[in-house]
Amino acid sequence: MGQVSRKLKKYILGIALGIALMCGKESYAQYNREYFFWVGRSCMMNNDYQEAIRTLNTLLRFDEDAFEGYFLRGIAKYNLDDLLGAEDDFSTAIRLNPVYTQAYTYRAITRSRLGNYDDALQDFREAIELRPDLPGPYYSRGVTRLLNQQFKEAIDDFDKFIRQENKVADAFICRGLSYLHLKDTVRAYDNFNTAIRTNRENPGGYNRRGGLYMEQKRFAEAEADFNKAIECDSAYLLSYFNRALVYSDTNRPMLALADFDKVIQLDSTNSLTYFNRAMLRTQIGDYNRALDDYDKVALYSPNNVLVYYNRAGVYAQLGEIERAVEDYTSAIKLYPDFANAYIYRGRLRELLRDPQGAKEDRSIAQRKIAEYRSRLNDSTYSIYADTTQRFDRLLSFDSKFAGGSFDRITGHNGGHEEMRLLPLFKFTLMRPDSVPAAKPYHLQRVDDFKKRIGNEYLTLSCRESNIAPDTLVMLDKQYVQELNASNPAWTVLFERAVTQSLIKQYTNSVSTYSSAIELNPSNPFLYLNRSTTRAEMIDFISSIDNSYQRITIDSDPANRLNNNSKRTYSYDEAVADLNKAIKLFPDLAYSYYNRANLKALSGSLPEAFEDYTKAIELNPNFAEAYYNRGIIQIFMKDTRKGCLDISKAGELGIVEAYEVLKRYAPLEK
């Protein structure tokens, strides 16, 4: 009956809209304007956002200055996760009515979700200046400041909100989180308690307090809080997951497995849950089902080193030695500095009657461990991953809970959809037939450098080399022999550094580049390549290392927060190398392009834009620079100009451009 009535209501509304349209533009503007507003609002109250947009589109065709229409349509788009479209509509509403407080507030919230915190905060300032008596903007600005890690300022905003509205539990939760990040656990605890007293049906307060208890090893109290959160909301995934961690830490693996089963029942694509369940199943000897879980993780996260490393251990327990060796080898291919993978593969090679292979693995492992320990206090290698540790404890979640793969847990997307920049340029080894066709960009100094090196496969490219790994290892051994036979020439050191980087021996590669620079400090290309290797090392190691940090999740999916306790990675040294390269050779477009990439990854989008622009000035056919500049312009909310740049990149041969255009070009009206 309900479905019939909804259909009838929609039919009647359709007739009414048709009649309204027949009235003509003049009568509509005079009489039917409010009717269309009413229909649009009614649709949104019923969560029929698409119908609301269709209705408001009709209104705006007849009245282009109806700022409230753009505002309402922006809200509808926001609820459909069309954040760029929502931002555009809120901007239009503001342009038509510069004192529209709500439009500033909603655009700020939208920009915050997009990770554009600076512009969001500016919008909040405008809204608060217009209406300092309204409490809502203070709360929303506090959330944005919390996300932007401005914890003291966030507390100030939550204080102002709470003075006017002291019955909103989420305000106390967010203020508690701010104190928690300032290491003030006492005030964090007090705020979580107040949130619970304010609204005993809100699972977020219990979940947050439970997380604090869990950090303090107060497992019984943490468990009680997670139980209460689940009582409040039986589909509250976070508390099932967190309670599983408590069960695991208190030696109750079967209960932990049951909670992980519940999480997977509610979210069947979550890699981290499968990974944790696999480790638990391994601990209780359920090896076959552990393998099933690891297979799921490998399917969702094929480049995650730990999947192969841990699965190899399970195969070894089952006596499938060859398959275990294959998985350890896969882990090593993904990360050649993985000391423990060499150690365990060496032990298995002994069982396979391969004493020479076992000896080589032990030797490599000892060298890797020694390198790590010797470089702990060296800032150049401060980001070197400790791969001597065991990786057998359960991992905690961050904000990428629903369906996210855990090897991307700490992605730098700031809440918006991840879009990858095209890679850095470097001198690499490439077979000529694999080099993509492009319009000529020749510099005599580059040609002279390649001639000086004398390697026919040496090319300047951002593409992945197609030289086989075995060939690269063989080349590396040849360079070692050459370097041992005579006084090292900077050219040979350079070639060896290139091969080391290609087989992911990043730390050794940086050292070799440094040795070459000592012999030839005025060569810009040595700095260019060392910079690229340093950046690649950071990107690779961060994907492994950050997964082991304890991360928390905000209760509100719209207000997600990464824990500030995780290690951070700086591109400063890589940028310094590029600065040196630019000083030595200011006409090389690739140096500006690379620096732009690193600035973008560091969050300095305006500076990145300037460097991409400089690269394009030097090389007007620089397809990759157009593409990446387009991407960051989309991130900076200039979708139209961004799409124009990406279109130019497609015109110049970047095939990835058209997938981006399919997604974003329709947003431009």
DSSP string, 631-659: HHHHHTT-HHHHHHHHHHHHHTT-TTHHH
Joined tokens for residue 24? 């003509």
pLDDT at 658 over 80: no
CB 100 within 8 A of CB 94: yes
* Residues whose CB falls within 8 Å of the CB of residue 603, separated by 6 or more in sequence, listed in order: 412, 414
Rounded to 10 degrees, the C-alpha dihedral 204/206/211/215 comes to 150
More confident residue, 269 or 38: 38
pLDDT of residue 188: 94
Q: Backbone phi, then psi, for 48, in 5-degree steps?
A: -95, 75
Question: CA-to-CA distance for 332 and 273, rounded, in angstroms?
Answer: 24
pLDDT at 655 over 90: no
pLDDT band at 471 (very low <50, low <70, confident <90, very high): confident
**Read out DSSP for 345-386?**
HHHHHHHTT-HHHHHHHHHHHHHHHHHHHHTTT-GGGTT---
pLDDT of residue 393: 61
Question: CA-to-CA distance for 176 and 253, rounded, in angstroms?
Answer: 31
Where would I find the H helices in 375-420? none
- Indicate the range of 43-52, 223-232, 433-442 predicted with least confidence: 433-442
pLDDT of residue 440: 65
pLDDT band at 420 (very low <50, low <70, confident <90, very high): confident
Percent of all residues in the chain with a pLDDT value above 70, rounded to a whole number: 81
pLDDT band at 82 (very low <50, low <70, confident <90, very high): confident
Question: CA-to-CA distance for 189 and 411, rounded, in angstroms?
Answer: 29
CB 203 within 8 A of CB 229: yes
Joined tokens for residue 99? 């004192």
pLDDT tens-place string over residues 363-415: 998 888 887 777 655 544 444 444 555 556 666 553 332 233 333 322 223 33
Amino acid at 434: S
pLDDT tens-place string over residues 135-147: 989 999 999 999 8
Look-up: residue for tokens 């950090």? 215
Helix (H) or strand (E) holding 460: strand 458-461
pLDDT at 313 over 80: yes
For residue 422, the SS3 value is: coil
Question: CA-to-CA distance for 220 and 250, rounded, in angstroms?
Answer: 9
For residue 157, the SS3 value is: helix
Q: How far is CA 348 from the centre of its chain?
A: 36
**Read out DSSP for 272-289?**
HHHHHHHHHHHHTT-HHH
Mean pLDDT of 124-142: 93
pLDDT of residue 465: 86
Q: Nearest to residue 439, comparing CAs of 652, 650, 616, 648?
A: 652
pLDDT at 419 over 70: no
pLDDT tens-place string over residues 243-280: 999 999 999 999 999 999 999 998 887 788 898 999 99
Question: CA-to-CA distance for 398 and 560, rounded, in angstroms?
Answer: 9
- Indicate the range of 322-331, 444-453, 493-502, 631-640 predicted with least confidence: 631-640
> Within 10 Å of residue 76's Cβ, how many Cβ atoms?
25
Average pLDDT, the chain: 81
pLDDT at 665 over 80: no
Mean pLDDT of 535-557: 47
CB 567 within 8 A of CB 549: yes
Mean pLDDT of 489-514: 90
pLDDT tens-place string over residues 579-638: 999 999 999 999 999 999 999 887 788 899 999 999 999 999 999 999 999 999 888 778
pLDDT band at 42 (very low <50, low <70, confident <90, very high): confident
pLDDT tens-place string over residues 334-364: 888 888 889 999 999 999 999 999 999 999 9
More confident residue, 661 or 336: 336
pLDDT of residue 30: 45
pLDDT of residue 592: 97
pLDDT band at 453 (very low <50, low <70, confident <90, very high): very high
Question: CA-to-CA distance for 544 and 548, rounded, in angstroms?
Answer: 8
More confident residue, 229 or 637: 229
Question: CA-to-CA distance for 84 and 387, rounded, in angstroms?
Answer: 41
Mean pLDDT of 290-319: 88
pLDDT of residue 450: 93
Q: Nearest to residue 108, comparing CAs of 89, 85, 132, 90?
A: 90
- Indicate the range of 444-458, 490-504, 554-568 predicted with least confidence: 554-568
pLDDT of residue 396: 58
pLDDT band at 222 (very low <50, low <70, confident <90, very high): very high
